[in-house]
Structure 1
């Protein structure tokens, strides 16, 4: 009997997923917190699969309402991580139980808020929020899969300023922008980000979890900075030693460090 090609097959796969840790079963409070977080982070979370982590709860939120709220923000709830007693109600909302790993990179998402500050003598406290380990697809980068670990990825070079609303993603490599990143523009890279001009929008380096990635610019005045999922919304003007100066941003543990580069005075 001749063999026929299988129309369907199952294979193992790994998945980058955002874990939303629920601190309360109050659905209204969760929805308000979600709205605020998405307003702060803009498109940083957009189009990501989400697992709702309710391991710390003893009663269930309104799973359906919470899933609908996530979808309104272009997030895609795919399952839950919860005590056995809460799984039946989650299943009724179409959310399957998922056993996901919680390594160091993922566990940043449910850590307490840290302080992101410039190094002494000019400390500048602010909230360091914790985000995801993988960014959304973004125009301007490549649609090819990220290269395997250890493989060389070509640096993406943008030779023009970026206007408000433009987003560039250097998948698997570094990003160099030869010009201004305007307010409302976003630059994302799996590696380092170099901006040779004013950085006034959002910059997200090490987007797939590389804690050694850096952001460097000749003129720092950002709306948001992020490295390996740790991000900071810049809500007030930076100190004069940093504002509109050449600067470097790097991750020290779970804290963003900003320092002026020589020649910035």
Structure 2
């Protein structure tokens, strides 16, 4: 007699966090999109190669040629895992095999203002008001790494700052939802404010990075970069949707 195979432990479902590159489409013109993708990948070299991609189509009014766009992205080693879209554009994306996703980072920097609250109705004061406990926000402790990070290594500090005491080598990647501090040469990629925190900053005692990003705004450290800041102590901030680089001695 053949017993039925026990498949209870064949797999386990677990939650997971995935860092994805969000590509915001400002046009549905296929030729313009293909040219922009090719140019960006040429500028970035291998930095974005094989990064998971979410296409943000919330800014366009007409669906692009999804099939041709996906083929071009795949040819540039950018695997698409989902799309952000609405209405008929979302319908066409679904037909092309794309899966709708929701990201924690807002699709754009603009925020809809809340309606002002109605004027409060005066209430009689109690003779002895009850004391309310003061709520202390629960903050995640900073993630501290005390070692050198080599090519291919990736560190992610979820809901906290990241502090690296040591070198971040080329090809290494450090990511934090908060600030990033590197006490040593920063030669790889550093991505702060990964979930959209525009107030996040990057601090390093030795700037020589491949790429820096805050809240989705990135900057390549290439030949066009201010060479006076290379290998110097630098603070990186986000201002008007552009990264600002400040020599650390300017704050003294």
TM-score normalised over the length of structure 1: 0.63
Please name the residue that 1:116 is paired with: none
**Paired residue secondary structure (2:108):** helix
Gaps of 5+ in 1: 1-15, 110-149
How far 1:249 sits from its partner (Å)? 0.6
Q: Which whole-Å CA distance do the structure 1 matches of 2:109 and 2:41 have between them?
A: 17
Computing the radius of gyration from Cα coordinates, the structure with the larger value is 2
Decide whether aligned partners of structure 1 residues 206 and 32 sit closer, same or farther in structure 2, where only a CA change above 3 A counts. Answer: same
CA contact (8 A) 1:179 1:197 kept: yes
Please name the residue that 1:37 is paired with: 40
Alignment of 1:66 onto 2:69: yes
Please name the residue that 1:232 is paired with: 219
How far 1:264 sits from its partner (Å)? 11
| Larger relative contact order (CA 8 Å, sep ≥ 6) | 1
**Paired residue secondary structure (1:42):** coil
Aligned positions, number: 201
Superposition pairs of residues 52-131 of structure 1, within 5 angstroms: 52-53=57-58, 55-57=60-62, 60-70=63-73, 72-78=77-83, 80-81=85-86, 84=88, 90-95=93-98, 105-108=106-109
Please name the residue that 1:262 is paired with: 249
Decide whether aligned partners of structure 1 residues 89 and 179 sit closer, same or farther in structure 2, where only a CA change above 3 A counts. Answer: closer
- Partner deviation per Cα, 1:93-148 (whole Å, 9 max, x = no partner): 234789x89x9x42259xxxxxxxxxxxxxxxxxxxxxxxxxxxxxxxxxxxxxxx
Alignment of 1:180 onto 2:167: yes
Q: Which whole-Å CA distance do the structure 2 matches of 1:95 and 1:106 have between them?
A: 18
Decide whether aligned partners of structure 1 residues 32 and 174 sit closer, same or farther in structure 2, where only a CA change above 3 A counts. Answer: same
Q: Which whole-Å CA distance do the structure 1 matches of 2:95 and 2:245 have between them?
A: 47
RMSD: 3.5
Gaps of 5+ in 2: 1-18, 111-136
